[in-house]
């Protein structure tokens, strides 16, 4: 099946800093989502982005499907951005999504 690798595994920032999270995948995809998991375990939808670029406030994402990666940008980070960020991808020839192991972001005040 498709392999999904997220980097870095852990990231520590000071409040106000910018960050880039990466998701690499091993096959062509027709589905890609970014999620933020809050401390209670709920997965919050950030972006549905199988290709192209989207922005939502301080967050933006870009997927370059031909090169098999997606990037999540967080600008002017806040302590509430802390948590685990997951990408989930659906291979074109598969009927399901596969999650990476996540990036744990800690934003210090």
Partner 1 sequence: EAEVAQSPRYKITEKSQAVAFWCDPISGHATLYWYRQILGQGPELLVQFQDESVVDDSQLPKDRFSAERLKGVDSTLKIQPAELGDSAMYLCASSSVPQGRGEQYFGPGTRLTVT
The residue ranges that bind partner 1 (CB under 8 A) are 4, 30-31, 33, 35, 40-43, 45, 48, 86, 88, 90, 94-102
Task: Please provide the size of the chain in residues.
Answer: 109
Minimum CB–partner distance for residue 70 and partner 1 (Å): 15
Minimum CB–partner distance for residue 39 and partner 1 (Å): 12
Provide DSSP, 16-82: T--EEEEEEESS-EEEEEEEEE-TTSPEEEEEE-SSEEEEETTEEEEEEGGGTEEEEEE-S--GGG-
Nearer to partner 1, 58 or 96 (CB): 96
Nearer to partner 1, 29 or 74 (CB): 29
């Amino acid at each position: 099946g498709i392999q999904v690798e997220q980097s870095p595994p852990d990231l520590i920032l000071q409040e106000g800093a910018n960050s880039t999270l990466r998701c690499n995948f091993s096959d062509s995809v027709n589905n890609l989502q970014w999620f933020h998991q809050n401390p209670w375990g709920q997965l919050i939808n950030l972006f549905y982005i199988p290709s192209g670029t989207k922005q939502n406030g301080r967050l933006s994402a870009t997927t370059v499907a031909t090169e098999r990666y997606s990037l999540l940008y967080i600008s002017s980070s806040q302590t509430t951005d802390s948590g685990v960020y997951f990408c989930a991808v659906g291979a074109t020839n598969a009927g399901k999504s596969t999650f990476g192991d996540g990036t744990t972001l800690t934003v210090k005040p």
